[in-house]
C-alpha cells in the first residue's frame, strides 16, 4: 500500500483515494487555509498546476483549521473562495487535521518525511508541501514559507515528471 491508496474525501464529500483522484500523476499535497498570511501562495500553486498539469502533475489542497483558526469556512465557502479569488482548478480534499490525535491518516504518513534540514514530524503551519512521485513515494517536503515557485520546489517537481 502506498500513500496513493489511503482513503480520503473530497471537498464535495466524495470518498476516494489520491490514486483515484489524480491517476498516475505526481502530486504536491499542501495543507491550505483561506485567512492566513501565506494564503497568497495559492497563486503559485495555481501556476504550478497550469505549468506542470499537462505533464502529469497535480496540486492537491487539504484545507486545515488547526493553525489559529485560519480556515473557518464550510466546504462551500472554501470552494467559493478558492475558485473566485485564486482560480483554483486543482482538487481540494475535505477540511482535515494535520497534527495531533485527530491527524488524518494521509498526514500520519506524510509527516514521516524529512525536509531539507533532515527534520520530520508535525506540520509547522499552513502551506507545508509534500511531493509524491507517480509510484506513491513521498520524495520531498517543503516548509510553509517555501514559495511554490521556489527553485527547489520546481526542480523537485521536474525530477518526478
Q: What is the pLDDT along the chain (161 residues), one digit of tens a residue?
A: 889 999 999 999 999 999 999 899 999 999 999 999 999 999 999 999 999 999 999 999 999 999 999 999 999 999 999 999 999 999 999 999 999 999 999 999 999 999 999 999 999 999 999 999 999 999 999 999 999 999 999 999 999 99
Please list the residues that pair with 141 across neighbouring strands. 130
Grid cell listed for 57: 502533475
Write down the H helix ranges in the chain. 18-22, 41-52, 75-81, 105-110, 151-159
* Catalytic residue annotation: 36
What are the b/e assignments for 11-37, b being 16+ CB within 10 Å? beeeeebbbebbeebbbbbbbbbbebe
Please list the residues that pair with 17 across neighbouring strands. 7
pTM exceeds 0.95 for this model:
yes
Under 8 Å between Cβ of 62 and 45 = no
Amino acid at each position: 500500500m502506498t500513500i496513493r491508496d489511503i482513503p480520503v474525501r473530497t471537498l464535495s464529500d466524495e470518498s476516494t483515494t489520491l490514486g483515484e483522484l489524480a491517476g498516475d500523476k505526481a502530486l504536491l499535497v499542501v495543507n491550505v487555509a483561506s485567512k492566513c498570511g501565506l494564503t497568497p501562495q495559492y497563486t503559485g500553486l495555481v501556476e504550478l498546476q497550469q505549468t506542470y498539469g499537462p505533464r502529469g502533475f497535480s496540486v492537491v489542497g487539504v484545507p486545515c483549521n488547526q493553525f489559529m483558526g485560519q480556515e473557518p469556512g464550510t466546504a462551500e465557502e472554501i470552494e467559493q473562495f478558492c475558485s473566485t479569488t485564486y482560480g483554483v482548478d486543482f482538487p481540494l480534499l475535505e477540511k482535515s487535521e494535520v497534527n495531533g490525535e485527530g491527524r488524518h491518516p494521509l498526514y500520519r504518513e506524510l509527516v514521516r518525511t524529512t525536509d531539507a534540514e533532515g527534520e520530520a514530524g508535525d506540520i509547522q503551519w499552513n502551506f507545508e508541501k509534500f511531493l509524491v512521485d507517480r509510484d506513491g513515494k513521498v520524495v520531498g517536503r517543503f516548509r510553509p514559507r517555501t514559495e511554490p515557485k521556489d527553485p527547489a520546489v520546481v526542480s523537485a517537481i521536474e525530477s518526478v515528471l
